[in-house]
Amino acid sequence: MNSFNFQEGETLLIDKPLNWTSFDVVNKIRGALKKHLDVKKLKVGHAGTLDPLASGLVILCTGKNTKKIEQFMGLDKVYTGTITLGGTTPTYDLESKITEVAVPEFDIETIRKAANTFKGSIDQMPPIYSAKRVKGQKAYELARRGKEVELKPSSIKIHEFEVVKVGPSKRLKNGQDCQFKISCSKGTYIRSVAFDLGEKLECGGFLSELRRTDIGNFSINEALTVEQFLEMLASLPKPVE
């Protein structure tokens, strides 16, 4: 990473921290690049949103490489994380209040058997707290105003759904935490997978941890944290006019 031409076009791999939006990352990197290059305008975009409560790989494109964003967005993704069984939340994650549903007492093989039913091409109902458009408005904006949200299922594909480990929940007194790895197509909501798994097991489920590790052939192991990128940028020579 010795030679860059950010104005012409670069593809950057960033490890998004928890509690940042993907746009927070774009704004931080764009601001730093504009200052470094001493320019007023610079195209920077991301190739796929990652929820604030998730961490991991985000692809950023600058300059002419922003034309590749749609191509990158179509790539398969790999996620690791934790699904908590025994309760539900309106947002299917920890962004809203947990309601306990039932006491799950499953062995790992029972949960794996349920997870296997999600493999392959399926129709998935997105969460109502999502950026899906409903009559020109984002679904989550309608949901937060208490409006009825009618969404249609999306066709997705889950290549792999591995339940790695099951243990007592860190968040529910009588719950179970399932550590997982999922490989899936574009447009898959892992929050919906968590909710649907809870429905399948009749005990409730929500997503309590999520990390994106791969997008196509791009790996989190190649990514820089925001801080590492800023340090690297500061070490580069200023462009000569």
pLDDT at residue 1, rounded to an integer: 46
Q: What is the CATH number of domain 11-74+217-235?
A: 3.30.2350.10
Whole-model pTM: value is 0.92
Query: pLDDT truncated to tens, each residue of the chain (241 aa)?
Result: 457 999 999 999 999 999 999 999 999 999 999 999 999 999 999 999 898 999 999 999 999 999 999 999 999 999 999 999 999 999 999 999 999 999 889 999 999 999 999 999 999 988 766 666 666 666 666 556 666 667 678 899 999 999 999 999 999 999 999 999 999 999 999 999 999 999 999 999 999 999 999 999 999 999 999 999 999 999 998 776 6
**What residue spans define the domains of the chain?**
11-74+217-235, 77-215
pLDDT at residue 238, rounded to an integer: 79
pLDDT at residue 3, rounded to an integer: 78
Cα distance between residue 53 and residue 19, in whole Å: 5
CB 56 within 8 A of CB 220: yes
pLDDT at residue 154, rounded to an integer: 87
Residue 51 among the catalytic residues: yes
Cα distance between residue 56 and residue 89, in whole Å: 23
Q: What's the one-letter identity of residue 186?
A: K
Cα distance between residue 129 and residue 92, in whole Å: 8
Residue entry with tokens 């012409």: 8
77-215 shares the fold of 11-74+217-235? yes
pLDDT at residue 129, rounded to an integer: 64
CB 17 within 8 A of CB 67: no
Burial of 165 (0-12, 13-18, 19+ CB in 10 A): exposed
Cα distance between residue 42 and residue 25, in whole Å: 15
Give me the DSSP letters along the chain. -----TTT--EEEEEEPTT--HHHHHHHHHHHHHHHHT-S---EEESS---TT-EEEEEEEEGGGGGGHHHHHTS-EEEEEEEEESEE-TTSSTTS--EE-------HHHHHHHHHTT-EEEEEPPPSSSS-EETTEEHHHHHHTT-------EEEEEEEEEEEEEEE-SS-TT-EEEEEEEEE-TT--HHHHHHHHHHHTTS-EEEEEEEEEEETTEEGGG-EEHHHHHHHHHHSPPPP-
Question: In the numeric block, which tokens belong to residue 80?
Answer: 């690791």
Annotated catalytic residue, options 15, 51, 93, 196: 51
Cα distance between residue 104 and residue 194, in whole Å: 14
Among the four given CATH numbers 3.40.50.2300, 3.40.50.1000, 3.30.2350.10, 3.40.50.1100, the one describing domain 77-215 = 3.30.2350.10
pLDDT at residue 135, rounded to an integer: 64
pLDDT at residue 134, rounded to an integer: 63
